[in-house]
Structure 1
């Protein structure tokens, strides 16, 4: 028994050693196995043929014929020299035939592997190119699919330093239905001009550089933009290239690398502006989400010869299913919510919100305005405001500087965070107007005792930032944000006063988990930037429009009390609301129902309603307008 246990491993070890000698050993073992099977079976076939008789010599000849026909060795019978020469000739033919088959199979396999590795060149034209890989790829592709619904052929080409098959599998899981849009993945380095050529950037309608999901990703974005500008054929003329850096300090370098015609956004800058606007206008984030996605209403620029010579005020009431918000002059200058007396000249374009570009049509049916329901109210007196900021990250200083552009003199913002260096940072925040005074308090905002000691009812609003004090921007930071929101909700329920809260999240999927009320808002900066870049990629004229909307100066989107425009509990059509807003210098684009404010996915927001729709506003309802605040 012991000897058997030793012999077995030795035989396996000897067999393994012979296999390591390469092709000759493999051929030898294969020949032995074939002979060990074919010769006995051939002998049995001859013995089983009862109708055949003969001498042992003739039977050996029949066995040889069976073996040779099976192994393709010719099967000649005769003198030993003749048989050996026929075997040699058959082996030579077998060697060349098998070699030829092997070469063909190897070539085909190599080509298949190259295709699977994504090394071939994309020959699409007027497609959208995505360079890099991050969580942004999914919302961008999803929105491009929606934008391409009306196109017969559409394509999106993705180039990333990642396995082609893996990219295709991940996209298939997160974006299962691409409809009529082909998603083509190629493997290569986005910072290598030669690799970028695989996705044909010269023939693309837009090139989007995705933001890496790492802290120092701005350097990669700058290198990718340099690689794009140095790709063959990309040096001449303006390029429709889009990118978003994380830190506003790197935006100028990225714009220099991208060259003329490119659009480079700053995630921190845009997110900070949206946080400030949203904390003062509950529900505003939902409005922007609707305007930035292709599933609902979005901005369009369209020429309307029928309005030439008429005023902007006339244009506001000329469309039943589109909402006019501005004009783009023939020289390219954008006027958002201009005076209603502004004339529309030849070559000017209408800036409108609509379901699609083919729904922007002049109304051909009569409409009425109930002027007896129009209300004119005086603007509310400005007073100092108190804002509470919970948490700290690199965007916090920009949020404070932006908030200073809006608030009245004597306003206060109190910051509570774990990082003690915040106090020193606050003293260096550039406050242009100086209307805001900032103070700091150390504390963990997930602790209920810390929050209870803040006198929450004394604040007008609360801003909850993704806390990166320990370098955990992302899912872990979202976990802290959700815990903070739960604590705030519990305290608010105890005091009976619901504070407007705007919270910053990194992952949009966490929004469904967040405890919300009708006065809460969420800013998912990465998703908003992805949607923004997709909109601009489809219409480069929108870059200036969003720049106007997101800055403190000029007109932007507001949610104002409906009672400031029409009488409460009075049934009116939306034409009446638009006319009342026009008389106040505003452009009405929708309304919000307070009773539906906590109901997803619209959260009470109704953008671009049919102006013939009959409405009855109650206390707490809002009208959404574009106005100079």
Structure 2
């Protein structure tokens, strides 16, 4: 019997502080009842309570305050009972206080551990933790400006307090956006449900810092899918996959409401485009972040029935680049006589949604009486790639797709490369193994004979150590260029954005933090899933591309013009003008002379070294299930 009683007590204690508190509260009521009966039956007439209610109240007070015993008097049996009751009250109350204290302590510890449910709706969920989370949060904060009750919920296998402190230290201001952190596994559906993904506006899955991050991303996509109430319900999910071979599995795991970006192809195309055209990385960065100009889809019923070319002049502070049909088809740089339908949306570049406004009357721009410089056949180019990482094979493939016949690529790496000497399509490829941080190696390469130089950040190293080697190579290249001025373009990849300032001191033509650009793209797509297909098109080897061409191809140098006139002149050659690069401002960060979407009425004077940023070729992007 005693053993069973002990077992029940042990079971009760195992239920935690709430169950123990209820038991003690019941004992308190019993003890108050006994005290009341004692007073009612044995107390002297002058101190006896009048009625059952008064006796119960007096009994409860004696349990809570045994000091009332000092006012008792009467026969010895009664005083003995009061002493026993007072002692019982002391024991009971001294037990209740630590139970309450322990319960509160456990609850506070649970709150600090970040295991409570996030009761938000219309928020953005971030699953996982990586060095790039600060870029994603900062971009989402910028996107949420002007949005009331904006919230970002982060779930990661990291202490909640550490996450909140790190975000506050790395991000200057949250601008009214609340950031809620929870501790849990992004691959566990039960933990994922803590951040309430079903009522979120979007979900972003960040790759982990593990050796094979794609596996963690796929598990997180499966966990989010388990929280859905149906296959076509819930928010859009955005994720990045490093290995292209895992792309199909990730899309299957995420379902129809998932956008998966192939990092492997995206970064390679970005590096090659920026290498061949200095300044292009700044254009892409400005389109990908929320701080400057972005791509919007705007419904403008007043333009119904007009030709596409008429819309180019209809916006003073926005650059039109295409149309979005009601069925989801997106026409990038369509033919000029394409008619605008009543339900079509204009795809344009603008500083914000508030700056998208029509001019009162569509102006007729003056004709440009200028014979443009004819295009000449491109000669073969030579490219030097210093370093090696997982994107090298894709980079060589992209060079083969973009370089003219007769071009060559020379790869110099301090570790075995995944490619060998030979030819890649029409490209001559040579590979040399040497330490690129050594000045003697760089001198032997005769860098000044190359048209383009690319410095890659190595894989498998600490980001700080990798960037230290990259900075050493970059400084040596710049020092060699001082002795023999080199006409080549220099593109450098960094692993950590915090080293950007150090790298800019060495003055590369273009500086790319590949992980940052992927984070920017994930943030943009989380706000507008349609942009995924547009960015795919802009980075594809064929179809529409962003290019920088000399301003003298379109307007005469040293003559006052407006950007509206430039738009008209560029359109006559079948392209779209979306900005310019001024040579005298190339050394000024952060945009280095790039200005997207200038005011069409602002007077300008272009020099022979200035460039126009154009969107060339045309394409049709088929519809999908984006909202």
Shorter-chain TM-score range: 0.7 to 0.9
- Counterparts of 1:213 and 1:616, CA distance in 2: 49
Query: What secondary structure is seen at the aligned counterpart in 2 of 1:529?
Result: helix
Structure 1 distance, partners of 2:508, 2:93, is 78
Q: Could you report, residue by residue, the CA deviation over 1:268-291 in whole angstroms, capped at 9, with x for unpaired residues?
A: 211100001000111111111111
1:496 aligns with 2:492: no
Structure 2 residue aligned with 1:595, among 560, 566, 584? 584
- Partner of residue 455 from structure 1, selected from 428, 432, 446: 446
Q: What CA deviation, in whole Å up to 9, does each residue of 1:82-115 have, x standing for no partner? A: 8766544322112222322333333222222222
Whether 1:159 and 2:155 are equivalent positions in the alignment is yes
Please point out which of 203, 206, 227 is paired with 2:202: 206
Counterpart in the other structure of 1:180: 176
Bigger mean CA offset, 388-397 vs 615-624: 615-624
Matches within 5 A, 1:502-521: 502-515=491-504, 520-521=509-510
Partners of 1:465 and 1:73 in 2: CA distance: 83
Paired residue secondary structure (1:254) = helix
Matching residue of 1:256: 252
Q: Distance in 2 between matches of 1:611 and 1:400?
A: 39
Deviations 1:312-339 (A, max 9, x none): 2111111100001111222212221122
Against the structure 1 CA distance between its residues 474 and 251, is the aligned structure 2 distance closer, same or farther, given a 3 Å change threshold?
Answer: farther
Match of 1:325?
321
Q: Is the 8 A contact 1:158 1:185 kept in 2?
A: yes
Q: Which residue of 1 aligns with 2:95?
A: 99
The counterpart of 1:168, out of the listed 164, 171, 194, is 164
| The 10-residue stretch of structure 1 (269-278 or 594-603) with the greater mean CA deviation from structure 2 | 594-603
Give secondary structure in 1 for the equivalent of 2:295.
strand
Question: Which TM-score applies when normalising by structure 2?
Answer: 0.84
In the TM superposition, what is the alpha-carbon distance from 1:237 to its structure 2 partner?
4.2
Between 1:76-85 and 1:583-592, the stretch displaced more is 76-85
Unpaired segments ≥5 residues, structure 2: 1-64, 619-627
Residues 1:616 and 1:368: Cα distance change in structure 2 (over 3 Å): farther
State whether residues 117 and 163 of structure 1, in contact with CA within 8 Å, keep that contact through their aligned partners in structure 2. Answer: yes
- Report 1:108-507 matches (<5 A): 108-233=104-229, 235-237=231-233, 239-364=235-360, 367=363, 369-372=365-368, 374-419=370-415, 421-422=416-417, 425-426=419-420, 431=424, 434-468=425-459, 471-472=460-461, 474-507=463-496
Corresponding position of 1:23? none
Between 304-313 and 562-571, the greater mean CA deviation after superposition: 304-313
C-alpha displacement of 1:340: 1.9
Give the whole-Å Cα distance in 1 for the aligned partners of 2:300 and 2:138. 31
Q: CA–CA distance in 2 between the matches of 1:266 and 1:477?
A: 23
What is residue 526 of structure 1 aligned with on the other side?
A: 515
1:287–1:607 contact (8 Å) kept in structure 2: yes
Cα distance in 2 for partners of 1:161, 1:80 equals 66
Distance in 2 (alpha carbons) for counterparts of 1:236 and 1:242:
15
Q: Aligned-pair distance for 1:371?
A: 2.7
Q: How far 1:509 sits from its partner (Å)?
A: 1.8
Structure 1 CA distance for aligned equivalents of residues 371 and 504 of structure 2: 36
| CA distance, structure 2, for counterparts of residue 80 and residue 447 of structure 1 | 101
What do the CA deviations read for 1:458-513 (whole angstroms, capped 9, x no partner)?
11000110123xx2162211111111100000011110224211111111221111
DSSP-derived class of the 1:425 partner? coil
Task: From the superposition, tell whether residues 140 and 403 of structure 1 become closer, same or farther in structure 2 (CA, over 3 Å).
Answer: same
For 1:104 and 1:511, the matched residues in 2 are separated by 53
2:556 partner SS: coil
Q: Is the 8 A contact 1:239 1:260 kept in 2?
A: no
Paired residues of 1:76 and 1:83 also in contact (CA < 8 A): no
User: Which secondary structure state, in structure 1, belongs to the residue aligned with residue 401 of structure 2?
Assistant: coil
What is the alpha-carbon distance in structure 2 between the residues aligned to residue 605 and residue 521 of structure 1? Answer: 12
Counterpart position of 1:616: 605
Q: With structure 1 as the length reference, what TM-score do the two structures score?
A: 0.84
1:51-130 to 2 correspondences below 5 Å: 72=67, 74-75=69-70, 86-130=82-126
CA distance in 2, matches of 1:489, 1:157: 44
Per-residue deviation at 1:551?
A: 0.7
CA shift, 1:130, in A, is: 0.5
SS for the counterpart of 1:230 is: helix
Q: What's the CA shift string for 1:415-457, capped at 9, x where partnerless?
A: 00112x32x623699x4xx121110111111101100111212
Q: Deviation per CA, 1:244-297, whole angstroms, max 9, x where unpaired?
A: 012222212111111112100122211100001000111111111111111111
Question: Contact 1:209–1:244 (CA<8 Å) still a contact in 2?
Answer: yes
C-alpha distance in structure 2 between counterparts of 1:218 and 1:135, whole Å? 16
Asked whether the equivalents of residues 391 and 416 of structure 1 are also in contact (C-alpha less than 8 Å), the reply is yes
Q: Which runs of 5+ in 1 are unaligned?
A: 1-69
- Offset, 1:350: 0.8
Q: Distance in 1 between matches of 2:522 and 2:316?
A: 29
Aligned residues: 554
- For 1:183 and 1:577, locate their aligned partners in 2 and report how far apart those are by CA, in whole Å: 44
Aligned CA distance change for structure 1 residues 628 and 107 (closer, same or farther; 3 Å): same
Maintained 8 Å contact 1:369/1:573:
no
> Distance in 1 between the 2:66 and 2:474 partners?
77
Distance 1:239 1:427, change over 3 A: farther
Q: CA RMSD in A?
A: 2.3
Answer whether contact 1:466 1:473 (CA < 8 A) is retained.
no
